[in-house]
Chain A
Amino acid sequence: MGCFKTKIVIFSENPAYLRMAAAIGQSIGGEIIGISAIPDVKFVNKLYLIDKMDEDGIVDLITSLSPDLVITGSVRKDRAIAARVAGRLKLPIVPDIVSLKLDGNKAIANRVAYSGMGLVTIEAELPLVVTVVGTQLQPKELEPSMEKVQLKEGRIKVVSKKSTASGANLATAQIVVGVGRGIGSKENVKYAEQLAEALGGVVGGSRPVAAELGWVPEDRQIGLSGLRIRPKLYIALGISGQPQHIAGIRDSKVIVAVNTDKNAPILENADYLVVADAVSFCKAMLKKLGKQ
C-alpha cells in the first residue's frame, strides 16, 4: 500500500449520523472529507461547507472528489444521495451497514436484511459507497481545514419544507409505548400517551398509524423505513408484529406486547404478551402506577 491514503467522503443531513459516519471512517483510516451545511464539524480532516441541501449539487460535489469510500448516514435524504453517487460512478453500494472492515482494496461489511431478520456479510471492492445505521459511535476531534462551496441549483426545486417534528426523541428514550391499528382510533391514542407519561417514556407508532392514518406524528414512525429504537422497555399496543415493525424494535431490551389475539405474530418477538384490549390495559396500568 505504501503511502496510499484512502480518501473517505462522509455526508449526512443529520448531525448524529454524520458523527457515526466519521467514526466508521476514522476506524478505517485515511483522509476524512466531510460535507455539511453546519460549520461546527470537528471530526474531519477537511470540511466542505455547503450553502444549501441541494441533492443534485451534493451528488455533483461528492462525485467530483473521486472518493475511495463514501460513507453516509441512513436517513432518507442520505440514502437517496448515496445511491445516486454509486449510480453516477457505477460503484458498488452497501446500505445500512453495522460494521465495516478493509483488507487492502477489499471491504467486508455486515448489514441487516430480510426486514431485520438476517445479518448478511457482504464483500465489495473499493471504491465503494456505504450508508451506516446507528449513531452510537463517537468520532475523535480533529482540526479540519474548511472550504465554502456554493452548490449549483439542481433539477429538483424545493417548493416548501414542513417539519413533522413533535419534540419527542424516540432514539434516546428509555421507555417507548408503540401504538398500532389495534388501539382502535386516534382518540384512543391518549391512553397510550397517559401511560407513556406515567412511565416517563414517549409514544411512537407503527408505519400505518404514523404515516398513513396520522394517529401519531409522522416523525414517530418506528420500523424498517422509519426509526430503529433501542429502549430498555418497549410496550407494543395493538401491534400485530409485521416484520417491518419488528426491524425497528429488535434492539429493545424488553418487549411487552398487548394484543387481543394471543396468537398475534408479535409473540415471536415479545418477552411478554398480555392478552387484552389495548385501552383496558392502559387504564389498568395507569391505575396501578398511580397507586405506587
Chain B
Amino acid sequence: MNIVVGFKIVPDDQMIKIVGDKLVTDAPLKVSTYDKNAIEEAVRLKEKFGGKVVGITVGNNDRKSIREALAMGVDEVISVLVKNPDVYVTAMAIVENVKPLNPDILLFSEMSTDSGTSALPAYVAELLGLPYVSNVRSLKIEGNKIIADRGMVSYIETVETTLPAVISVGGEINTPRIPSVKQIMESAKKPVKEVKFEAQPKVVIRDIKPLIVNRKKIVIEESDIDKAVDKLLEYLKADGVL
C-alpha cells in the first residue's frame, strides 16, 4: 500500500506567549499534536498491509521534528520549502510532490495547532479528485473499501468509500507510539528529500495580535477546603456571577 502522511511542524503551542501587545510565536518547533495520530495511523496501515509510508511536510524543515516522524515508522520524508504558505500553496505543494507516488491513501490530522484551519486535507482531496472523509475516529480497510467512523461532535457517522482516498483523523483514533532509542538512532539513516515550491498565496496575513483576556489569577490556597470555598464564594458574589 502506498501511504502518504502529511504533518506540519509548528511552534509548540504551550510555549507561545503573550508579551505586552505581541504574540511571541518563535517558540521551539514540534510536530503538530494530532499529526502524530495521523503518522501513527499511517504506520499501523503499513504494518497491516505492507508497503511504504512517505511523510510530507510543508513550511518549517526542522530536522528534529522530521526525525521524530521517521523514528515513529515513516520510511522517508519529503520536506517542501515554501515562502508564505497558505492553504492553497501548501495543498499545491503537496499535490505536486505526492502525485507521482500514486498514493492509495493520504492521511492528515483534522486540525493543526497553529493556523487550525482544518482545510488542507479537503483542499488536497479536491485537487487530486479523490473522496475525502474528515474527522475519522476509527478506520477499517477491507480490500478496496474504507469503513470509517466520523466524530462530528453532536453525532457519530459511519461511512463507506473506496481507495484511493484522503482521510483526516482526530486524536481519538489511536495513541501515538513513543519511538525507542534504537528507532531514533535508525531514523538518522532514513532519506529526507528537500525540495522547493513556489506559488503565489491567495491569503495574506496583515497582522497578528494577541487575544488578551485579562484574568485576575488569584490563587486560593487553604489547608481547610471549607475556608477556600468560603473565600471563592465571596469573590464570585462580589463579581456578580453567583
Contacts and interface: CB of A to CB of B under 8 A. Distances in A.
A241 B57 CA distance: 28
A75 B152 contact: yes
Contacts of A119: 208-211
A101 interface: no
B159 A158 contact: yes
B162 A155 contact: yes
Interface stretch (B69-77, B185-193, B232-240): B232-240
Given A86-B87, A254-B239, A281-B229, A113 B116 contact: yes
Contacts of A262: 219, 221
A130 B23 CA distance: 24
Contacts of A275: 219-222, 228
A236 to B, nearest CB: 12
Interface stretch (A3-11, A183-191, A222-230): A222-230
Contact of A272 (B151, B218, B225): B218
Contact of A92 (B134, B202, B242): B202
B91 interface: yes
Interface string B153-182: 111111111100000001110000000000
B197 interface: no
B101 to A, nearest CB: 19
Interface of B: 11, 13-14, 16, 18, 23, 25, 33, 86-88, 91, 110-111, 113-127, 131-135, 137, 147, 150-162, 170-172, 202-211, 213, 215-222, 225-226, 228-230, 232-233, 235-236, 239, 241-242
Interface of A: 55-56, 59, 75-77, 79-80, 82-84, 86-88, 90-96, 108, 112-125, 154-165, 175, 199, 207-208, 211-212, 218-219, 221, 224-227, 232-233, 242-244, 250, 253-256, 262, 265, 267-276, 280-281, 284-285, 287-288
